[in-house]
Structure formats: C-alpha cells, structure tokens
Chain A
Amino acid sequence: MDSSLASALAGLVGERHVRAAHAERLAYAMDGLPTHHSLPGLAVLPGTRDEVVAVVRLLADLEVPFVPRGAGTGLSGGALADHAAVLLVLTRLNRILKIDVANRLAVVEPGVVNARLSAAAAPHRLHYAPDPSSQTACTLGGNVAENAGGPHCLKYGVTTSHILALEVVRADGSVVNLGSPGGEPWGPDLVGVFVGSEGNFGVATRITVRLVPLPRAVRTLLADFSSLRAAGEAVSAIIGAGLVPAALEMMDRSCIQAVEDSVYAAGYPRDAAAVLLVELDGRSEAAVDEEARQAASLLSAQGARHVRQAADAKEREKLWQGRKKAFGAMGRLSRDLVVQDAVVPRSSLPDVLESIAAIAARYDLVVSNVFHAGDGNLHPNISFDARDPETVDRVEHASAEIMATCIAAGGTITGEHGVGLDKLRYMPLVFDGDSLAAMHAVRRVFDPDERVNPGKVIPVHACREWAGVRNAEFGMRNVRSRVDSAFHIPHSALDV
C-alpha cells in the first residue's frame, strides 16, 4: 500500500500504531476461521474516538476501503481485509467509561473485552449477560457487530437485547448517536439494525449496555445419555414443560473425549453418546431447587443414565470450564478445526443430529458437536488438515450438506457467528433476490460507497435490482480473487 498513506495515518495516531511491515501485517491475516486468510494493506490502531474519526475521514477523502476489527476471534472471516484495504483495529479503545449501578447499565469503548466488563460489574452484583465462549478474548465491538450469543443467552437473550445505545462513526467520518440510554429507540430502531451488521454500517465507538443482577441461586446439572436422539428429545421435553433454564448445552461423544483428554477435563462420562449441561438460576434458593428437581426428573424420564448436580461453585466451574474450552480441546484433535454454526427448530434436533452424523460418515470426517441446544443453535465442528486439498474438498462438501440439511429442517445458516465471507454463498438459499437486495440497499443508506468491510454479508450478484442501487461488483471482487480461500465450493454440493 502507498507509503504516503502510512505516514499520513502515523501523523494521526502515532507511528507506533501503524503496522505496515509484512511481518506486522501477518498478525492480522486471519481471524478465528482457519480456511481464509488475507494480508491487509495496512493496520492502524487508533487510541481514541477522535482518532477513529480522523482516520476514517482521511480514508474517506482518499476513497480507501477499511475493515473494523476487534479481537479477531470471529468465525466467519468478517475481520479480514485485503491488500487494498486498511484494517482499523479497535483494541486500544478499551476503556470502561461508566458503570451506572442505579440504572444497571454501562458505557464502554468497543475494544473492551467481554469478560472484563462482567468482572468490573461483579462487585456491584451485576453482570453483562451475553457470554460467548470466547468471552475472555472477544470485544464488545465485535459482539455488537456479530450479535453474539452464548450459553446463558437462552434465558437472558442475545447481544441485541442488551444494547441500549450506540455511538457510530460512519464511513464518511460523521458521528451519529443511535438509541437512548433507557433503550427506547428514539425513532425507528437503528440500534436494532446496526447490531449484527458485521461492520458494514460503520464503526461502533461507544456502546451502552444493559447490566443484569447476578443470580443468587444457581443449580447446574449434568445428564448423560446413551443416544444423541434421546438427548435431543430431552431438550424439547424441558422447554416444552415451561422450564426456562439459564443455559441448556449439549456435547456429543467426540467432544466429550476431546475435553476429557485435555487439561480442561471436567469429569464428563467418556462412554456417553451425549451430555446435557442444564443450568437453572433465579433469586430464590427454594424455587431454583424445585425447578432443578423438575428438570432432573424430566431428564431421567427421557432416558438419562445419570443426572448429577454440581455440589458447589467449584464443581460448577469445572463443568462449565469443559464446555467453554471445548473448542480449544477439539483444536488438539487435528491441525485445523472448522467451527460451524446453524440453527434448527428445537424439535428437529434429534433428526438433524443423526443426519449430520451420516454426512460425517459419508465424507469420512470427524464431526464433533458442542452447542446451544436450548436454542436449537448447532455447532458441528469438523477436524481436518487444511494442507491436504483432498480433505479440504471433503470438508467443504460436508459443510455445504450440513447447511442444506439445516435449511431443509426450517432453520438458518448462522445463529451467532455471522455470514462474513464464509457464508456468503449460502445466503441465496435462505433469502430471495428481493430480500437480499433490500438488505444491500439498507447497507448503502449507511455506507453509500460500500467502503466499510466491503464484500461481506450480502452476495451482491444474487440481489435483484433495487431502485437507486447499482449492483456494484465492488463487493464481490475480493471474495473470490483477493482473499485466499481454501474453499471453492461447487454449487452442485448445495443441491442436496
């Protein structure tokens, strides 16, 4: 990239905070998705909101595209930039600006790490409820952009239900405040449409979030099953009975083995086909006890071999540690791991899980499942070696078939990891040309030149024409040619 841009940026944020050398840029060539990598033209790390504005204005003047980036833990390639784009890294904007105990809210900069906010709120008996498994690393800006979920979102709701207001720097460098501290949208719900927009609508520079009291009473159950189907049916039984667990997570045998072989061994029974981790919480010990009893008897009635209740906070911690570090543990099974993400109606979990197992067998792949069962949000994870093109080919076919299976069951292609680059090709399977075009047009209201995070989320070629919107090829170019992808999915693979 032009060295004069680097020096102009250095003039705004300081030389130390512009990364232009090849070796420095390599650090930003990937996010959490192992199949895509791309070297950004430059990386710039502003330290304040005003520096963000100055940088974005400069880029606007020069018509240079840019990509906001938090911690880079995203699993859909959303934080990748190509050589013609600048990566705008927000990790230095990491101040917690306010914790308002009386109103149970906090104002933070986008680079604040999720778990750090909860830790800061804990002395006030409050927490930030959405808890992605990556919470010790991912940023709130990334959470907002992806509308992140987590185990406890079953009861407390995903990110979008916790964002009250946003300060956004648009692609032209203008600053706009969306929402209001009390959560009333103040006009149409622009906060709602910004959350989950994957960096396409601008840069969130200030985030007002809701804080929730920590539960006083918690019970955590571990139930193990000798079949996936029985575990899947138990999920429906619990939800159907009107219980609202704080979390309801499932892990299959392959995941259990990986966890038990790792330093995060949680004492999950190795011979189980699946375990369910069920957490109930509330204010009253007696009531939560009663609900835990009810859940336990439902689990037993559905064929659980054992139902174990964590005796104390330490045991509970251990049970959760296994779940939260499951991806890491599975990462040891093979060189690479694709963490898939899809959603199905809860009641179709048993069938879909069996179909996924059949797909894995057909392609001779190891697929491990660890997921938010209570929401029907699946994570079938495929272990593989990305150096072997033949394996990669099987992985891509299997992934496409898994997506097609979930769509056929009435589900969707992503519940929390986003579309990014990885899922662009599946978008036309869930939305028609008009709906995609409408989304594209909305993006252009926020960013008429499509300069923020170009080429993500909307497969522009699949959009029907929309008044006033040229079907810019700009976006699609970097998907295939500029970003190196290990994946080249033949469209025939989707016809299953």
Chain B
Amino acid sequence: MSLLDKVRALLGRDAVLEGPASGEIPRVAPPTPDAVALLLGTAHEEGWRVRVEGTGSWLPPDAPADLTLTTRRLDRVTAVEPQDLVATAEAGIGWDALRQQLADRGAWLALDPPGIAGRSLGSVVATGTAGPLRAGFGPVRDHLLGVTFVTGDGRIIQGGGRVMKNVAGYDLTRLQAGAFGAFGVIVLVHLRLRALPRADETLVLEGPAEELLAAADEIRAAELAPAALELLSPALARRERWVLAARLVGSPAAVAAEEGDLRGVAGGRFAPLRAEEAHAFWSRAAEAFALRPVTFRVGGLPEGGEELLDLVRHQLSDEWVSAAPGVGSIRWAGEASAERLRRLRRTLAGQEVPLTLERAPWALRSAVGHFGAYREGVGPLVAGLRHTFDPKGTLVAAVEGDE
C-alpha cells in the first residue's frame, strides 16, 4: 500500500485534502485530536516524516517531508466562559474567527500577533509570536492556561488545565509555547481572556527614530504603562517618518487619565487616531510581517534598546522594523542571507540578547535554525526533550539549524 492509501484507510478518504500533484506530498487534515494521534502513531511506526502547518500563512509549507499534517479542520471553539474569562479552542482556528467568537461573548484575548488575520491559533502558540500588546499583557505563554498536544509517536498529552492558577505537575504548557513544534503538535488550547475593553485608544507621534526613542524613555520614566508602546519604521507605519504608537486599553476613566498624561510627554504632540484608523494601523503593521521572506525577533533590555536598534539597522536594513522600547524587543522583516543572520546572532549573543528566527524559507531555517546555538548546557536538555516527545524525529522542525 502507498502512503496515501494507508492514510486514507486510517482516517477516511476525505482526510486527504486534495490529490497531490506530481512532486507534491499529501496534505492530511485530521478532523479530531484522536485522528492526529492516529496519524502520528502510524507515521512513527512507518518512519514517515511529517511537517505540520496551521493555515499555512506564517511558516512557508516547504520543509522536506513525506506528508503535511494541517490542523485546519481542528477549527472549533469548544467553550467560551465569559464569566470566568476562559475559553477553549482547537489549534487550527483562524485568529480572526476566534477573535470574533470571543467578542460576541464580550471577551477578549489580549494578544495581537504578527501575521495575517486568518493565521491559526496553534501557529501563534507554537512560535510564541506576541505583538505590541506584549508590553501590557505579557508574552503568548502568559495567556495560556493549558494545552493538549500530540507527541511525535502519537500520544495525547494534557498540560495545565482550565483554571486561572495551576501548579499540579510540571508546566508542559510553557514548554510547548514557542517551541516551534519540536515537542509535539498542539491540538487544543485553554485560553485566559479579558473582558472586552470599554475604552481603547491609539495615539501616534511622528519623527526621527532617535527622538521617538527619547520620548519612549520619558514615558517609561513617568511610569506610564500603555498596553502597547511601539516604534515602527516608516514603511511599516506607512508614513513619511518613524512613528511611536501608544495604545491605551481599559476603563474609560483609566484611559482618559493615561491619555492626558501621555499628551503631557513630548511636548503634547501625540495625536489620537480614530477607532477605524487605529484598527487599520495595527492590523497593517501585523500583516506586513507575513509579507517579507524573513522575520525575526530579538529580546534585549529596555536600556540598550537604541544601540540594539542601531545594530539591527546597520547590519541588515531598517525598512521593516517594529520595536517595543519598554520591553527591549525588536521585530524585523526583510531579506537576509544565512551568513548575515548568523553574524548578527553572534554579535547579539555576546550581549546576552537572543535572536529568534520567526519565519523564513526552509533553506534558511534549516541553515540557521529558529534558535541557533544555545547557551552552554542547554543543547543537551533540548535534545533530550526532543527525544522524549518525538523519539524517531517524525516531526520536521528546524530548531537549532546546522551549527
């Protein structure tokens, strides 16, 4: 029996999305977590290599493999509890569909990941890509109460749970967030929500990057803590100059107070955007990161933010850059060779600043890896964990690269 026949026999004819054209590998869309486990258990036994995709909009579907497992049929929101501010959703649901279903119940997931609106929830979790709201609401992992995942040999594992606090057992949820699929396929996610904010304002300030960074410093020194404070390059902001954008979220009273304080900074030049302008502004910036071939993030400290930005601009380019001065992180998109990325990564590592490759064509991913070289002693731990969760290397993931 061919691989295709075996998969059809296992999961039914319509689990294989389309008859693969010559040279293409089959794309399989299991309809349930159990079906994912069945498929991976078989792949493990048969020695098939599996690449995992959500809706296929973030990482290009180009890794060498025998078949593609797509989570796109795992697209249900199985529970929303607005009173408890928790929800459970399958990993393949698109971000926009999830957001809408939550909003219908007055709830909000305080994450604004880069990428297109239809990007899958699982891909956001697996790549740990938070957007500007990270400044106020933390990284992706802070929004997760639990995950269910399937290991490379087809076991279904539950980490965490559905309640706000949980220290029963080790934190496998955090292990999955941002592991780029190296430890299993995420199938179900328990989310921590917030009430849909009653006030949500965005103010912007334009100018040279250095001046805006100084304004960001002032904001921080004044202990203002906007939900997002992001410095965007002109191309990203679609403006003539760099833009410092502040998003204020919360009760009308708190937002009004913050807005007043913010206008007191930088000589009162912060200008508010209308609601629909603000929405377009943030979503355009998020989507832009899915348009260029390479995206990475670096995680530094607030104090060294300006030098870090200079370094990235200098070694690569400064066309598509978004920086969170209060967090110390920078996201960059553009074109870059493996050599340049390696060099930048080495320079940054010397300053204890990691560079995480978020998206790139396979050739680049496999050459430099999402993480590259780890700090001393970490490599054996990651290798041990990979072996634990995927003993035969069934899941294709380029975490370390060739180095």
Shortest beta-carbon distance from B342 to chain A in Å: 16
Closest to A214 in B: B223
Contacts of B170 in A (CB 8 A): 193, 196-197, 200, 439, 442-443, 457
Q: Does A286 contact B (CB under 8 A)?
A: yes
B165 lies within 8 A of A375 (CB):
yes
Interface flag for B314 (CB, 8 Å):
no
Q: Quick check: B163 and A284 within 8 Å, CB to CB?
A: no
Q: Are A283 and B303 in contact (CB under 8 A)?
A: no
Given A174-B377, A184-B329, A442-B175, CB of A430 within 8 Å of CB of B84: no
Chain A's closest residue to B180 (CB) is A188
With a CB–CB cut-off of 8 A, which chain A residues contact B1?
none
Are A189's CB and B141's CB within 8 A?
yes
Contact with B along A428-464 (1 / 0, CB 8 A): 0011101110110111011000000000011000000
Q: In the complex, which residues of chain B have a beta carbon less than 8 angstroms from the beta carbon of A380?
A: none
Within 8 A of A (CB), among B199-255: 223-225, 250-251, 253-254
Closest CB in chain B relative to A289 CB, distance in Å: 8
Q: Tell me, in angstroms, the Cα distance from A154 to B163 when the chains sit together.
A: 13
Query: Chain B residue with minimal CB distance to A189?
Result: B174
Residues in B whose Cβ lies below 8 Å from that of A196: 167, 170-171
Residues of B within 8 A of A466 (CB): 388
Q: Using a Cβ–Cβ cut-off of 8 Å, how many residues does chain A contribute to the interface with B?
A: 94
The answer, yes or no, to whether A216 is at the interface (CB within 8 Å) is yes
Q: Does B178 contact A (CB under 8 A)?
A: yes
Query: Is B335 in contact with chain A by the CB < 8 A criterion?
Result: no
User: Closest CB of chain A to B352's CB: distance in Å?
Assistant: 6
Which chain B positions have C-beta within 8 A of A287? 251, 253-254, 256-258
Contact present for A345 and B141 (CB under 8 Å): no
Complex-state Cα separation, A436 to B183, whole angstroms = 16
Contacts of A102 in B (CB 8 A): 302-303
Q: Which residues in A have their C-beta under 8 angstroms from that of B83? A: 236, 239-240, 346-347
Contacts of B169 in A (CB 8 A): 419, 427, 430-431, 435-436, 439, 457-458
A161 and B371 form a contact (CB under 8 A): no
- The interface centre, meaning the residue of A187, A283, A284, A416 with most chain B CB atoms within 10 A of its CB, is A187
Shortest beta-carbon distance from B52 to chain A in Å:
16
Complex interface bits, A355-397 against B, C-beta within 8 A gives 1, otherwise 0: 0000000000000000010011100000000000000000000
Give the distance to chain B from A423, nearest Cβ to Cβ, in Å: 7
In contact, A147 and B158 (Cβ under 8 angstroms) = no
Q: Which of B116-124, B149-157, B276-284 contacts A (4 or more CB under 8 A)?
A: B149-157
Give the chain B neighbours of A430 by CB distance below 8 A: 161, 168-169
Query: Which residue from A175, A181, A216 sits with its C-beta under 8 Å from B223?
Result: A216
Is A195 at the interface (CB under 8 A from chain B)? yes
Do A180 and B167 touch (CB < 8 A)? no
Q: Does B36 contact A (CB under 8 A)?
A: no
Which of A52-60, A251-259, A332-340, A405-413 lies on the face that meets chain B?
Answer: A405-413
Other than the given A193-B171, A283-B257, A283-B258, 20 more pairs (CB < 8 A) read A105-B301, A178-B378, A182-B299, A182-B300, A182-B327, A188-B399, A189-B128, A190-B175, A195-B174, A282-B254, A283-B224, A284-B253, A284-B254, A343-B166, A344-B163, A347-B83, A419-B169, A430-B161, A438-B157, A446-B381
Chain A residues with a Cβ under 8 A of chain B: 100, 102-105, 125, 146-147, 149, 153, 157-158, 160-161, 170, 174-178, 180-190, 192-193, 195-197, 200, 213, 216, 236, 239-244, 282-284, 286-287, 290-291, 294, 343-347, 372, 375-377, 410-419, 423, 426-427, 430-432, 434-436, 438-439, 441-443, 445-446, 457-458, 466-468
**When A and B form their complex, which 10 residue pairs have the shortest distance between CB atoms, in order from nearest?**
A184-B299, A192-B174, A242-B195, A176-B377, A284-B257, A415-B165, A290-B253, A445-B384, A186-B354, A287-B254
**Can you list 21 A-B pairs with a CB-CB distance of less than 8 A?**
A105-B301, A149-B165, A160-B171, A177-B377, A185-B354, A186-B299, A188-B182, A190-B175, A192-B171, A236-B83, A284-B258, A287-B257, A346-B164, A347-B83, A375-B164, A411-B163, A412-B161, A419-B169, A435-B172, A445-B381, A457-B169
